[in-house]
Amino acid sequence: MPGRLSAIASAVLLVAMAVPAHAATIEITMENLEMSPKDASAKVGDTIEWINKDVFAHTATAGNGDFDVNLPAKKSGTLVLKKAGTVDYYCRYHPNMKATLKIEP
Amino acid sequence: MFVRWSAAIAAAILLSSPALLQGARAADKPTDPQIAHIAYTAGVIDINAAKQAQKKARNKDVKAFAEDMLRDHEAVNKQALALVKKLNVTPEDNDTSKALSKQASDKLAELDKLDGAAFDKAYVANEVAYHKAVNGALETQLIPSAGNAELKSLLQTGLKIFQGHQQHAEHVAAELK
Ligand SMILES: [Cu+2]
């Protein structure tokens, strides 16, 4: 019995080693009309989750047109990153809300 | 408790830029109950302007902008009401609020005579001027004069919202040209 268990354990370990590092979820908060962190870094395949803590609706809108995520008051929204590059984004409703996303390949 | 206040708000509407600052200056250092009244009135004015625009605007960006103004200012004023209730402050009418309201109703009447593209342009131009004026009053008068920390913080959020609206209005104005 213990032998079988350890066999399973090593099989699991092998699988874990074979699979590349898990894609991460990066949280960016919007509170009091500020994105935090203002400069975030992520990799292609990662998910960005914007958490809007304000009672106001915001958006995360890429200056280059790559994405436009609606964030109703007190709601969050996600985006899976598909393309590397540095993207400046802003809120369409409050263009004074600005931040940068650095996406590595 | 809010009867007098509500009556003033009901009369409140749009204004053009100079009077807000003049009004604020004339009233020395406003008290917290006066500041709360001015801030709330300023929000109601933009809400009423947005309601007029929803009926009259033709351009879809202008219509969308009016909807954004309505949503944000209603949210700010809801927070303001909750705060004055919590602080047990009765907002107090004052010369600045009166000047704001008077100008606003004049502006609303002026815009009411316009239609179509002419209305769209005039509404957005006034939104730029109005938000600029409110931002000036918040920065130079209302925020520095506020005594209560929570009121000050709400005004600071209000300033960021208004600054955002000013930029948004400027973008819409640029696209109408
Ligand atoms: Cu926003």
Percent of chain B past pLDDT 90, that is, above it, reads 83
**Could you list the residue range(s) of the whole structural domain that residue A66 is in?**
22-104
Asked whether residue A14 is assigned to any structural domain, the reply reads no
B71 vs A21: CA distance, rounded Å:
43
Residue of A nearest to B155 (CA): A32
Residue A1: count other Cβ atoms within 10 Å of its Cβ: 5
Q: What are phi and psi of A43, to 5 degrees?
A: -120, 155
Examine the pLDDT at B7 and tell me if it is beyond 70: no
Q: Is the pLDDT of residue B133 over 70?
A: yes
Q: Any idea what the CATH number is for the domain that residue A71 is in?
A: 2.60.40.420
DSSP three-state, residue B1: coil
Task: Tell me: pLDDT of A17 over 70.
Answer: no
CB pair distance less than 8 Å for A56 and B163: no
Q: Are B24 and B97 in contact (CB under 8 A)?
A: no
- In chain A, the number of structural domains is 1
Query: Residue ranges per domain, chain B?
Result: 2-6+31-176
- The answer to whether residue A46 scores a pLDDT higher than 90 is yes
- The helix/strand count (H/E) of chain A reads as 1, 9
> Residue B29: pLDDT band by 50, 70, 90 thresholds?
confident
Is A3 in a helix, a strand, or coil? Answer: helix
pLDDT the model gives residue A76: 97
Q: Please name the member of A55, A73, A94 whose beta carbon is closest to the beta carbon of B164.
A: A94
Q: Is A34 left (phi over 0), alpha (psi -120 to 50) or beta?
A: beta
**pLDDT > 60? residue A84:** yes
| Chain A residues with CB within 8 Å of chain B CB | 32-33, 55-57, 73, 91-97
> What is the predicted pLDDT for the residue at A15?
47
- Provide the pLDDT for residue A4: 63
pLDDT value for A18: 45
Q: Distance from the CA of A3 to the center of ligand 1, in angstroms?
A: 58
DSSP string of B14-74, one letter each residue:
---THHHHHHHHHTSS--HHHHHHHHHHHHHHHHHHHHHHHHH--SHHHHHHHHHHHHHHH
C-alpha angle A84-A69-A76 in degrees, rounded to nearest 5: 110
pLDDT averaged over every residue in chain B: 87
- Report the pLDDT value the prediction gives residue B11, as an integer from 0 to 100: 33
Q: What confidence tens digit (pLDDT) does each residue in B85-124 have?
A: 999 999 999 999 999 999 999 999 999 999 999 999 999 9
Give the residue from A73, A59, A92 showing the smallest Cα distance to B172.
Answer: A92
Q: What is the pLDDT of residue A8?
A: 54
Which CATH code of 3.40.50.1970, 3.40.640.10, 1.20.1260.10, 2.60.120.620 fits the domain covering B2-6+31-176? 1.20.1260.10
